[in-house]
Amino acid sequence: MANLKEIRSRISSVGSTMQITSAMKMVSAAKLKKAQDAITAMRPYSDKLTELLQSLSATLEGDAGSVFAERREVKNVLVVAITSNRGLCGAFNTNIIKTSSRLAESTYAGKNVSFVTIGKKGNDILKKSHYVTHNNNEIFDDLTFDNVSKIAERLMMLFEERTYDKIVLVYNHFKNAATQAVITEDFLPIKPIESEEPVASADYIFEPSKAEIVETLIPKSLKTQLYKAIRDSFASEHGARMTAMHKATDNASELKAELTLTYNKARQAAITNEILEIVGGAEALNN
């Protein structure tokens, strides 16, 4: 059994760790509320805009169709992996890295697969075994639509110039503070709605024309889609970190209680031994 000094040192160390994890939990909880409100308010607009553009794009034929809806033979694939800049958030980053690697090694095996990483953690791991063309760590320092638009414009340019035939987003979808689901989502080309019912059956009046409206709204829709994915990941990160720090705090509390019990037992045993030594010495003097 460890001596009393060692146990006291461990109790102090665990107590300090518990204070840190508890503080990190509260900070993440505060940031989560703001991030959750932002993504919850944005989803309906983003989903409806994407649905509208998919419907309109599907009705355009021939040369009237958008280049961003063009279907090609998939030879070159770009995977956009969205992680975080910091750790201590459980399996949040690991799940994205595993899913992204699986796309390169299994789903698109035999294709030329490249990566664009958003977040330091994903870049640090993926660049060791895959080709990372660009990294965007700085986006989380000022997460705004304008800053995300620059990344989306670069992705659209790469697709338009035929550098890549398919662009895929991999990110964590925020469900609640304790649950995040990894989403693999096609970014380009635009995926038409798969339905047995006629597409765009609603009676719309287009001014100036359907083709011009689609060409104007598609870039905005793609920027919004990427912004929503990063916002989703951002909220998921704080939820994952809050949950991880909550569990870490609980584990530290349990460990501290166990160490305190061990310390009390060791202290009691030491006092008992001292009493026995005193009593034994007194008996020896009497004899």
List, by residue number, the catalytic residues: 89
- With vertex at residue 101, the alpha carbon angle to CA 98 and CA 103, rounded to the nearest 5 degrees, is 110
Q: How many CB atoms lie within 10 A of CB 149?
A: 17
55-to-168, 229, 236 alpha-carbon distances in Å: 20, 21, 30
Q: Which residues of 275-285 are buried (b: 16+ CB within 10 A; e: fewer)?
A: eeeeeeeeeee
> N- to C-terminal Cα distance for the chain?
34
Q: Which residues, in sequence order, are CB contacts of 2 under 8 Å at separation 6+? A: 10, 266
Q: How many CB atoms lie within 10 A of CB 77?
A: 19
SS (H, E, C) 86-151: CCCCCCHHHHHHHHHHHHHHHHCCCCEEEEEEECHHHHHHHHHHCCEEEECHHHHHCCCHHHHHHH
Residue labelled with tokens 């609603």:
202
